[in-house]
Amino acid sequence: MVIISVFLAICMIASVSASYFPPGKTWVIAFFGLAFIPLWGLNFLVLIFWIVVRLRHSAIPFIALLISTPVFFHVFGFHYGKQNEKEPDNNSLKLMSYNVRNFDLYNWEHNSNTKSSIYKMLVDEQPDILCFQEFYSSDNDKGWTNEKDISELLNLTEHFFSISNTVEKYEHWGLCTYSRYPIVSHGNIDHMGVNINAGIYTDIKTPSGIVRVYNVHLQSFHLNYKDYETIDLKNDSSLNLKAGKSIFSKMKRTYVTRGAQVQVIAKHISASPYPVFVCGDFNDTPSSFSYNTLKGNLKDAFLEKSWGIGFTYDYWLPIFRIDYLLIDPRWNINNFKVLGEDLSDHYPVVSTISPLKH
């Protein structure tokens, strides 16, 4: 049992390290970061075991858990009942971020009403600034002209649609940011003149001054149906071994790419002349290098006003929070919520914020 305790403690420390080391050179550690929650739980159980059985051995898991404290407070929220402690005022902004998965264009949900249900949810929320990832719109396919329809439906007269892929000249995919207030500038985030296809920025003239909104969608693992069947243990053992190697290879490449993306985005954020809001799908957990790098000195709306794990990804285990609203410290976070609507593989996140009074 001592050997198991030491092994779990080392894994816990490796998981913590994932927040601080770029995956480019230390990509193996990133895998441990993904397992932070189960590793923390196992070390906690081992701590209880040793306290009961042999107290002196409890130092092993205790030290590991102590080292994990900074990351622990990035993963778990402790503000139960404070989600709506302050009512919005005239200077407040309602932010919403949603990986909409193309409005279920390919009918993954087997529900012909998915898109209309998403529209209804948007009408109910009435966000002032709305960031979409995996946004799809057609120029002439009736019923899928989402770019125009959402603008009219929500009276969000300003928007920036950054198209990353076009098919048949009229079908478009990309990132889209809508605003109730004037957009004075916008652009893609480039590295050495090349679009990294991971984020856009939009400068918006709000009643409290100009703010810069980053709409971010970091590299995903791009797992296919066979990969998910492997994860669910639906293939036979020989197929699982081969597919497992494929999954591992994909994840390795993704961690390296994602690590490079966040460093470019973080540099862009640091040069912003305006207060910054970062919204989007990081495809990574709060125990990751991606989250720690982009968060910087920003405030995580979930951590400020919610509790628990706050998972936003609807697959397998409900432990993955990968969608975020990060807010400039010059603004106050009034409330936060995750909308538990099963309309995509992600849940939308919403927060109302207002400028701090000087």
Residues 98-150 have pLDDT tens digits of 999 999 988 877 677 899 999 999 999 999 999 999 999 998 877 899 999 99
Higher pLDDT, 216 or 196: 216
pLDDT of residue 340: 87
Q: What is the mean pLDDT of the chain?
A: 90
Mean pLDDT value of segment 29-37: 94
pLDDT of residue 197: 84
Strands 307-308, 331-338: pairing kind: unpaired
Sheet holding 158-167, edge to edge: 158-167, 171-179, 129-138, 93-99, 349-355, 331-338
pLDDT of residue 111: 77
Mean pLDDT value of segment 16-26: 91
83 found inside a domain: no
Written as six digits, the tokens of 228 are 């998910």
pLDDT of residue 319: 86
Domain enclosing residue 296, as ranges: 93-355
Instruction: Kindly report, residue by residue over 260-286, the tens digit of the pLDDT.
Output: 999 999 999 999 999 999 999 999 999
pLDDT band at 337 (very low <50, low <70, confident <90, very high): very high
Tell me which of 6-10, 181-185, 315-319 is least confident. Answer: 315-319
Mean pLDDT value of segment 141-169: 92
Q: Of 45, 75, 105, which closes a domain?
A: 75
pLDDT band at 213 (very low <50, low <70, confident <90, very high): very high
234 found inside a domain: yes
Are residue 7 and residue 146 in the same domain, yes or no? no
pLDDT band at 168 (very low <50, low <70, confident <90, very high): confident
109 found inside a domain: yes
Taking 60 as the threshold, does the pLDDT of residue 228 lie above it?
no
Percent of the chain at pLDDT exceeding 90: 72
Taking 90 as the threshold, does the pLDDT of residue 221 lie above it?
no
86 found inside a domain: no
88 found inside a domain: no
List phi, psi (to 5°) of 137. -155, 145
Percent of the chain at pLDDT exceeding 70: 90
Mean pLDDT value of segment 231-252: 68
Q: Do the Cβ atoms of 218 and 283 come closer than 8 Å?
A: yes
Instruction: Kindly report, residue by residue over 48-96, the tens digit of the pLDDT.
Output: 999 999 898 999 999 999 999 999 999 999 876 555 555 567 789 999 9
pLDDT band at 227 (very low <50, low <70, confident <90, very high): low
Taking 80 as the threshold, does the pLDDT of residue 200 lie above it?
yes
Are residue 126 and residue 100 in the same domain, yes or no? yes
Are residue 103 and residue 28 in the same domain, yes or no? no
87 found inside a domain: no
81 found inside a domain: no
Are residue 36 and residue 111 in the same domain, yes or no? no
pLDDT of residue 24: 82
Mean pLDDT value of segment 290-315: 94
Q: Of 75, 110, 137, which closes a domain?
A: 75
Are residue 29 and residue 132 in the same domain, yes or no? no
Higher pLDDT, 84 or 158: 158
Are residue 310 and residue 227 in the same domain, yes or no? yes
pLDDT band at 238 (very low <50, low <70, confident <90, very high): low
Taking 60 as the threshold, does the pLDDT of residue 330 lie above it?
yes
Total count of domains within the chain: 2
Higher pLDDT, 244 or 82: 244
pLDDT of residue 59: 95
Are residue 53 and residue 103 in the same domain, yes or no? no
Are residue 241 and residue 335 in the same domain, yes or no? yes
Taking 60 as the threshold, does the pLDDT of residue 231 lie above it?
no
Q: Of 42, 75, 108, which closes a domain?
A: 75
Are residue 153 and residue 195 in the same domain, yes or no? yes
Are residue 175 and residue 34 in the same domain, yes or no? no
Are residue 200 and residue 55 in the same domain, yes or no? no
80 found inside a domain: no
Are residue 51 and residue 193 in the same domain, yes or no? no
CATH number at 138 reads 3.60.10.10
